Structure 1
Amino acid sequence: MLKVTIDATPITLEQTGVGFYVLNLIDALFQLQSSEQFQLSIVYQPRFKKLVKG
């Protein structure tokens, strides 16, 4: 079984290009999950943004 993990950290209340793309990717993969043989995992690390920005 294929395992797919997506970092959802770019998704914020303000719609950005990357956040919008990740949100739509998660939605599309979630819909495919029942008909395809893969496991979808989502990781969200809000503190990572603070560490990168300083």
Structure 2
Amino acid sequence: MSDYCHLHNHTQFSLLDGHSSISSMISKAKADGQQAVAITDHGNMFGAFKFVAEA
């Protein structure tokens, strides 16, 4: 399913909304053949730095 990518994902940095780790999210997207993935955490940018570093 390489033409599909998730553009609305919350990580463990979105309190009460998400619990996925950034590394597991990126690994799963790669395993599924997705060309892109995004994070849309609420109220902070803590995950953005880790996301860019791991992507």
- TM-score bracket, normalised by the shorter chain, equals 0.3 to 0.5
TM-score by length of 1: 0.40
TM-score normalised by the chain length of structure 2: 0.39
Higher strand share: 1
User: Which of these two proteins has the greater Rg computed from alpha carbons?
Assistant: 1
Q: Which has the higher contact order (CA 8 A, sep 6+)?
A: 1
